[in-house]
Amino acid sequence: MKIVTYRITLMEPALVTSLQGDPNSAVAYDHLPGSVLRGVIIGLQMRENNQKQLKLTDSAVRRRFFDGRVRFLNAYLVIEGQRSLPTPRSWEQDKHAEGEDKLIITDRALSAPLSDSEDNIHSKKPGKPKSLGGSFCTTPDGTNTVYTAQPQHIISVHTERDRTKGRSLGEGQGTLYRYDALASEQVFEAMILCDQDDDAKFFVNLFKKYPEITLGGARSAGYGRARLSDVHNRDVRREVTASDSIDADRFTLTLLSDVILRDANGQYMLDADTFCQLIVKHLGLSNEQVTVKQVFKSEGLVGGFNRKWGLPLPQMPTLTMGSVFVLTVSSLDADQIDALFDYRDRLEWFGIGERRAEGFGRVAVNWQQYEFLTKKDVVPMVVEKPATLSPASAQLWRVMQGRIDRQHSDQQILEKANRIVLEPIRRLPPKSQINHLRQIVASELLKENPNMAVITGQKGFLENIAGKKAAQAFKDARVDGQPMDDWLKSHTASNDLRGTLRLIDAVLARAAKIKKRENKRIEVSSG
């Protein structure tokens, strides 16, 4: 028996949808389900053999993908370098705690519940519990320090469009919908449990040959690309790091994935008694020997989609991951105590319930060891994208960056032009002369190397109007108390000629507007 471990780095957002949300939205799981990963690996197998479908008559195909002898476990976040696990629902925090007490976690599966009148020994106020269910955790140093994290999601809004015209057809013919997907660059780790060693070698070779995969929905819309890495073929080990001792008085079972259960009549059941009966069967004990002491559970629904049929799978009620059951085992003889360890290993290796080949039914025995833990919130492992651009993309980026810088510079120039005082209004040059000078400035700005000589040099604008009525107008107008022609000449030696010309153009544009308003006022008063 072997275990294959591998990591999945999301190169694009992943839309592995759960049954949450309204009809116009798709909400992704916080993990990558084993059912999705099994489908991806089946696709790699068909790609390897250049097949359109698997040969179900092949015993190796049935063993690897369908009969449960190979189990594809969920991929969970990598936290502090380790594959994380669902946070037990028996973990609670005091909502009113302050300071360092906010970091204290109490495991109710290992302690008696507090009443409202009891003082929490870790808080100055009576404890009001808040569950940690829904996040993921790991304990890399093996102590009571636990690292918790939430996967990052990205929300995108899309509009349904006509496939032929490539756009929405207007009101009533274009649906607005939302995707809540797992964000890219996050790293997840999954496991494959193989009853035969040859199957583990097969998957390792397959992953190394095809390191890039696609998963989830909306693959043609920029979702689903991922990369496989850190593929290892390992000896059998427990999915959790826990004590090997067994306490019959407090036998703790924690669900590491959703569990699908049926009772003796074939009906889906989520009660503790049905769960207990299955555990009794796996442990080889009688119903009288096992009793349920505490239950911390949550319930949900699971569906799926069969790409071969092109149809959704039936929805099934589940006990959700993180649920905790505390059992008491009594009347054990010496042989049963010795056998209990073997039954525990079989329970953790094979799991319980239905669809175990897709990662359902994972159980950890006596994983929780500490009544009080210290919480540390961390950011899940992400892979930074290297900033590598093709020559064409680099050129485009330089153009874009230049335009951004130009817009920022234009904004600063406009603000500066608006602070300049133009007076007196009646002595501003004629609007025709202002616009003529603006045309000269605009033409010069189009050149690669602009020059102020078009304004102040020989045969420049000021020389061309010398001795004319317009020249006197430029002398009479004042820019910040300085004659306008002198103000124009004062910028001849500017180091930033392009910026200077844009400032001159902004000031002239403002002067033209002022002159236009003044002319209208005169027309109204004379009329």
Q: In angstroms, rounded to a whole number, what is the distance separating the alpha carbons of residues 202 and 154?
A: 35
| Distance from C-alpha of 259 to C-alpha of 271, rounded to nearest angstrom | 12
Q: How many residues are given for the chain?
A: 527
| pTM confidence score | 0.68
Measured between alpha carbons, how far is residue 340 from residues 39, 73, 253, 343, 381 in Å?
Answer: 35, 24, 14, 5, 37
User: How far is CA 291 from its chain centroid?
Assistant: 42
Q: Please report, in tens digits, the pLDDT of each residue of the chain (527 residues total).
A: 899 999 999 999 999 888 776 667 788 889 999 999 999 999 898 888 888 788 888 888 888 898 889 999 999 999 988 899 999 998 888 877 777 777 888 888 887 654 444 444 444 444 567 777 668 988 887 788 888 888 999 888 877 766 666 666 666 665 777 888 999 889 999 999 999 889 899 999 999 999 999 998 888 888 989 999 999 999 888 888 776 766 666 788 899 999 999 888 888 888 888 888 888 877 777 777 788 888 998 888 888 777 777 788 888 999 999 999 988 887 776 676 767 777 888 888 898 888 999 999 999 988 888 888 888 888 776 666 566 778 888 889 888 988 898 888 888 998 998 899 887 777 888 888 999 999 999 998 888 888 888 898 888 899 889 888 888 889 988 998 899 999 998 888 888 888 899 999 999 999 888 888 888 887 777 76
CA angle 173, 175, 176 (to 5 degrees): 145
